[in-house]
A = this chain, B = another copy of it.
Amino acid sequence: MNKSEIKITIIGLGYVGLPLAVEFAKKYKVIGFDINQNRIEELEKNNDSTLEIKDETISSVRDNLNFTSNIDDTKECNIYIICIPTPIDEFNKPNLEPLINSSKTVGGVIKKNDIIIYESTVYPGATEDICVKELEKSSGLKFNQDFFCGYSPERINPGDKVNTLSKIVKITSGSTPKIADKVDELYKSIITAGTYKVSSIKVAEAAKVIENTQRDLNIALINELSVILGRLNLDTLEVLEAAGSKWNFLPFRPGLVGGHCIGVDPYYLTHAAEQVNYNPQIILAGRRINDNMGFYMVQKVIQQMINNDIEIKNSTVGLMGITFKENCRDFRIQKL
């Protein structure tokens, strides 16, 4: 495939898909697809409500970048990159429905030799076991014969203006060694930090899902420490800062974890572990701690209110800055 022949569709234009579409549009013809008509309308006006990409950056690549909510507009493309969220359900189990639906949608338009690349965080095996099956079903084409797949996990850090898409090394993989090379070449052409090609899609899936698991667990440990230190009447921050005077102490801080990744991805990994009859001890302990920090904080507030003779029942609570990212602005009033 020559550069001039490459036509890319990005499926899903959230804070992962849009930056990718804009970056690719600097070099290739790109169609941005989203089922959300409102999102398409704002992007048509070069306006990104997620605040990841500036208006002028979008407008500067519009010669190469079109937006649509009609999948038939993407039929001339030969590369489809799926940037769809992978949430969990109310039982903390992976909810692959959005991913399955978009695989069906894409399966309806792909042709021979097209490459479908997934960027969504999943458990190891999910792309080939679940998504490929849907692609085969709805396309009638055969995997690794008629069409091929790649997996290149997104590493977007929402709101981070330093570590942006092109400045973060990107893991690449493909369903055959030749396709892995093609996927790697494609990303290499836009990621100035370089790419990291691995031996299989499954390895790439695993590498992604353990990243956020490690972060979740380190925050959970600090949360557990803060509970213990609190009971021992010690100032958590003073203790952490003292420990941090050692060169190899890791400077995590207690707090809530949230967003689409840290609190979610570990459950994808534990789901896969349970599939092979391993009950994860540490990872789930970490999740429990972090999931309970909200309740813990409420408990602390109520204790303080009681100590200060504040009536609990009819109180109004103002939540200031309770966001999963620091320095976000949020203010909510909540009736207890």
Contact = CB atoms under 8 A, between A and B. Distances in A.
A169 B245 contact: yes
A224 B281 contact: yes
A281 B287 CA distance: 10
Contacts of A256: none
A161 to B, nearest CB: 15
A269 B210 contact: no
A224 B276 contact: no
Interface in A230-284: 231-232, 234-235, 238-240, 242-243, 245-250, 269, 272-273, 276-278, 280-283
Interface in A180-218: 196, 198-199, 202-204, 206-208, 210-211, 213-215, 217-218
Contacts of A169: 245-247
Contacts of A137: none
Contact of A213 (B221, B246, B277, B281): B221
Nearest to A217: B221
A155 interface: yes
Contact of A235 (B203, B210, B242, B246): B203
Nearest to A167: B247
Contacts of A293: none
A163 interface: yes
A234 B246 CA distance: 35
A88 to B, nearest CB: 18
Contacts of A231: 273, 276-278
A225 B242 contact: no
Nearest to A249: B211
Given A206-B234, A221-B213, A228 B282 contact: no
A18 interface: no
A248 B289 CA distance: 22
A168 B246 contact: yes
Contacts of A214: 218, 221, 243, 249-250
B242 A171 contact: yes
Instruction: List 8 A-B pairs, minimum CB-CB distance, nearest first.
Output: A207-B242, A231-B276, A196-B245, A285-B285, A207-B243, A281-B285, A169-B245, A228-B273
Interface of A: 124-125, 155, 163, 168-169, 171, 196, 198-199, 202-204, 206-208, 210-211, 213-215, 217-218, 220-221, 224-225, 227-229, 231-232, 234-235, 238-240, 242-243, 245-250, 269, 272-273, 276-278, 280-283, 285-286, 288-289
